Chains A and B, each alone.
Chain A
Amino acid sequence: MSTISRRAFLRTSGLGIGLGALGGCAPALQGDFAPKTGRRVVVVGGGWGGATAAKYVRLADPTIEVILLEPEKQFVSCPLSNLVLSGVRTIGSLTFGYRGLRRHGVRVLHEAATAIEPDARRVRVGDGYLQYDRLIVSPGVEFQVEQIDGLAAAGDRVLHAWKAGPQTVALARQLHAMPAGGVFVLSIPPVAFRCPPGPYERTCQVAWYLKRAKPKAKLIVLDANENIVSKAGLFRAAWKAYPNIDYRASSKVVKVDPGAREVTTDFGDRIRYDVVNVIPPQRAGTIAVQADLVGPDKRWCPVDHVTYESAKHKGVHVVGDATIGLPVPKSGTMANAMGKIAARAVVDLLAGKQPPAMAPVNTCYSWVSDQEAMAIINTYRVAQGKVVQIEARLTPRQSAEYGRHALGWAANIWHDVLG
Chain B
Amino acid sequence: MHESARMIAGIAALLLTLLAARPAAAGPMDAPGYAKAFACSACHGLGGASRADTMPVLAGMSPQYFTKAIEDYASGRRPSAEMQPFARMVLELGLDEVAAYFAAQPFAPTPIAVASAAVARGRAAAAPCAACHGAGGQGDPARTIPPLRGQPPGYLANQMLLFKHEARSPGDAQLQKVKELMRGISEATIGDLAAYYSSLR
Contacts and interface: CB of A to CB of B under 8 A. Distances in A.
Contacts of B131: none
Interface residues of B, number: 35
A408 B55 contact: yes
A408 B29 contact: no
Interface residues of A, number: 43
A43 B42 CA distance: 20
B51 interface: yes
Given A336-B42, A337-B42, A413-B42, A377 B85 contact: yes
Interface string A337-380: 10011001000000000001111110100000000000101111
Contact of B42 (A344, A395, A401, A412): A412
Interface in A244-302: none
Interface stretch (B19-27, B62-70, B99-107, B185-193): B19-27
A359 B52 contact: no
Interface in B72-98: 81-82, 84-86, 88-89, 92-93
Interface in B45-66: 45-46, 50-55
B120 interface: no
B92 A344 contact: no
A408 B81 contact: no
A373 to B, nearest CB: 11
Contacts of B44: 412
A412 B45 contact: yes
B93 A62 contact: no
Contacts of B50: 408, 412
Given A333-B42, A340-B38, A375 B52 contact: no
B24 A60 contact: yes
Interface string A129-173: 000000000000000000000000000000000000000000000
A375 B82 contact: yes
Counting chain A CB atoms within 10 Å of each CB, the highest count among B39, B82, B154 belongs to: B39
Nearest to B112: A411
B43 interface: yes
A312 interface: no
Contacts of B30: 60
Interface in A301-353: 333, 336-337, 340-341, 344
A37 to B, nearest CB: 12
B46 A358 contact: no
Given A62-B25, A375-B82, A416-B41, A407 B54 contact: yes
A89 interface: no
Contacts of B23: 61
B35 interface: yes
A412 B28 contact: no
Contacts of A415: 45-46, 51
A242 interface: no
Interface of B: 20, 23-25, 27-30, 35-36, 38-39, 41-46, 50-55, 81-82, 84-86, 88-89, 92-93, 154, 158
Interface of A: 56, 59-63, 333, 336-337, 340-341, 344, 356-361, 363, 375, 377-381, 390-391, 393-396, 401, 404-405, 407-409, 411-413, 415-416, 419
26 contacts: A59-B27, A60-B30, A62-B25, A356-B35, A358-B35, A358-B39, A359-B89, A361-B39, A363-B43, A375-B81, A377-B81, A377-B82, A377-B85, A378-B85, A381-B92, A390-B85, A390-B89, A393-B85, A395-B82, A396-B81, A401-B158, A407-B53, A411-B51, A412-B43, A412-B45, A413-B43
Given A381-B92, A408-B154, A409-B42, 15 more contacts: A336-B42, A337-B38, A337-B39, A344-B29, A378-B85, A379-B85, A390-B85, A393-B85, A408-B50, A409-B52, A412-B45, A412-B51, A415-B45, A415-B51, A416-B45
